[in-house]
């Protein structure tokens, strides 16, 4: 691999009480690749993402982003650095419309403050709102969710909500996208749509994407590389082909062999 390292995880360990969630995990995410993290339930995949986004502070080890240490950076600063994320259990603002959800993600790109908010017409708030609205409309159009622009997201079906959440992550205009099971609970058609969006984003913006997903077939299709976690330990790392044939992985997925090779 000659591509520059974007995100680097070195010897990260994390435990809750006596339970080890992550144990000495290291891997790199290269610029412009799609890296998938897979593993059985409870393998520590989401914990890994939470460490990267500042929700958890690893007991040991470090995480760097473009060479900057982000191990102890609070979550609210992560976005500013250029890392966006979606959540396993959709974390949309259910009371807001699709439009406002995505606009809310532009938060860090706004310049105006509290007083301008109150005054709206004077002080530049209106002008800035319109400027960002243009950007957001591009995202809405890209994700083909124009028809639900003004709908309250709490009332949307699951598949659309996942899409809105992706839109929200895109609105941050980050350089890395962390997607935590973006396709769970979807039917085949929705999954294919979502996969197409992910690949589109990857290709058009040369976005680095880190993906957690259970659907092995899908992962094998779209991921450049795969990291496999089991009980908090990294047991394998490599291209989809390498992973498919890795005996450790097969052992970890014992009884689920069929799913991997699907």
Partner 1 sequence: MAVLRPSGDFDVSYRQDMALIRYPWHWVLILATILVAATAPLWGNAYVVTTINQIAYTVIAVQGLNILTGYTGQISLGQAAFMLVGGYASALLATYWGAPIWLSLPLAALITGLVGLIFGLPSLRVKGFYLAMATLAAQFIIPWLTRHTFKDYLGGSDGQISVPMPTLGPIVFDSAEKFLYLSLVALLITTVIAFNISRTRLGRAFVAIRDNDLAAELLGVNLLGYKLRAFFIAALFAGIAGALRAHSERSIGTELGYNLNESILFLGMLIIGGLGTNLGPFLGGVTVIILDDVALQFGQFVAALFPAYSSNVLTSFRPIFFGLVLMLFLIFEPRGLAYRWTLIKAAWRLRPFSR
Q: Which residues bind partner 1 (CB under 8 A)?
A: 53, 55, 74-80, 84-85, 87, 91-96, 100, 103-108, 110, 112, 114, 117-120, 125-126, 129-130, 133-134, 137, 148, 150-152, 155, 168, 172
Which region holds residue 119: left if phi is over 0, alpha if psi is between -120 and 50, else beta? Answer: alpha
Least distance between partner 1 and beta carbon 217 (Å) = 29
Cβ–Cβ < 8 Å for 6, 207: no
Neighbours of 80 (CB within 10 A): 13
Query: Which CB atom, from 13 or from 152, has the smaller least distance to partner 1?
Result: 152
Least distance between partner 1 and beta carbon 96 (Å) = 5
Strand ranges in 92-182 using DSSP code E only, listed in sequence order: 176-180
Neighbours of 117 (CB within 10 A): 12
Least distance between partner 1 and beta carbon 86 (Å) = 9
Query: Which CB atom, from 160 or from 220, has the smaller least distance to partner 1?
Result: 160
Least distance between partner 1 and beta carbon 128 (Å) = 8
Tokens representing residue 125 in the block: 């708030």
Question: What is the C-alpha to C-alpha distance for residues 41 and 94, in angstroms, rounded to an integer?
Answer: 27
Cβ–Cβ < 8 Å for 174, 78: no
Query: Which CB atom, from 119 or from 261, has the smaller least distance to partner 1?
Result: 119
Least distance between partner 1 and beta carbon 262 (Å) = 32
Tokens representing residue 246 in the block: 């890795």
Question: What is the C-alpha to C-alpha distance for residues 152 and 133, in angstroms, rounded to an integer?
Answer: 17
Q: Which residues contact 68 (CB under 8 A, 6 or more apart)?
A: 81
What Rg, from alpha-carbon coordinates, does the chain have?
A: 19
Residue 186: strand, helix, or coil: coil
Query: Which CB atom, from 30 or from 110, has the smaller least distance to partner 1?
Result: 110
Cβ–Cβ < 8 Å for 107, 168: no
Least distance between partner 1 and beta carbon 247 (Å) = 37
Query: Which CB atom, from 104 or from 199, has the smaller least distance to partner 1?
Result: 104
Least distance between partner 1 and beta carbon 167 (Å) = 12
Strand ranges in the chain using DSSP code E only, listed in sequence order: 5-16, 19-30, 34-38, 60-65, 68-69, 83-85, 176-180, 208-212, 225-230, 233-238
Query: Which CB atom, from 23 or from 85, has the smaller least distance to partner 1?
Result: 85
Query: Which CB atom, from 146 or from 203, has the smaller least distance to partner 1?
Result: 146
């Amino acid at each position: 691999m000659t591509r520059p390292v974007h995100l680097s995880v070195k010897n990260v360990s994390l435990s809750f009480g006596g339970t080890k969630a992550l144990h000495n995990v290291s891997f790199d995410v290269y610029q412009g690749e799609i890296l998938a993290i897979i593993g059985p339930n409870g393998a520590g995949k989401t914990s890994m993402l939470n460490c990267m986004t500042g929700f958890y502070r690893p007991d040991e080890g470090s995480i760097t982003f473009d060479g900057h240490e982000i191990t102890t950076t609070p979550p609210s600063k992560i976005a500013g650095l250029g890392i966006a994320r979606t959540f396993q259990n959709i974390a949309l603002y259910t009371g807001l419309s699709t439009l406002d959800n995505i606009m809310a993600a532009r938060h860090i790109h706004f310049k105006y403050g509290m007083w301008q908010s109150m005054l709206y017409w004077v002080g530049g708030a209106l002008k800035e709102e319109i400027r960002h609205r243009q950007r957001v409309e591009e995202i809405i159009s890209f994700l083909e969710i124009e028809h639900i622009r003004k709908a309250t997201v709490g009332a949307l079906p699951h598949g659309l909500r996942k899409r809105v959440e992706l839109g929200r992550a895109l609105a941050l205009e980050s350089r890395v996208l962390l997607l935590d099971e973006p396709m769970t609970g979807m039917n085949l058609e929705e999954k294919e749509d979502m996969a197409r969006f992910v690949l589109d984003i990857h290709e058009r913006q040369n976005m680095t994407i880190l993906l957690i997903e259970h659907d092995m077939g899908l992962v094998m299709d779209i991921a450049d590389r795969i990291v496999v976690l089991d009980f908090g330990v990294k047991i394998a790392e490599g291209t989809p082909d390498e992973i498919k044939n890795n005996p450790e992985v097969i052992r970890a997925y014992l009884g689920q062999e069929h799913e991997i090779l699907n």
